[in-house]
Amino acid sequence: MSVVFHLPVTVFTFCVIRQAVQDLTECVRVVAGELIAEVAGVDYTVVGGEGVSFDGRLAHRYRNESDKQTEIILSVTPPNP
């Protein structure tokens, strides 16, 4: 599943903790703007053209703390048989 988000100027937070799924990969790619991806308590700054992927079961959230709109593509991949 992929979703395109347009994050407003205000700080946007999204927090998910998934423990019921054994394997889960989450990827986010910044199309435009800048995003802070906080994964397991560590901040990663991701700018347009860059992306980050991680174990989706880890506590995480995305923040736009800039004064500009940010556009991202988010993909969550459950385990494959």
User: Which domain CATH number covers 12?
Assistant: 2.60.120.10
The residues facing 30 across adjacent strands are 72
Which two tokens mark 1?
């599943």
Confidence of residue 14 (pLDDT cuts 50, 70, 90): very low
Instruction: Tell me which residue range forms the domain holding 26.
Output: 2-77
Residues ≥6 apart with Cβ < 8 Å to 42 = none
Confidence of residue 33 (pLDDT cuts 50, 70, 90): very high
Average pLDDT over residues 68-72: 88
Domain count, the chain: 1
Confidence of residue 12 (pLDDT cuts 50, 70, 90): very low
Confidence of residue 81 (pLDDT cuts 50, 70, 90): low
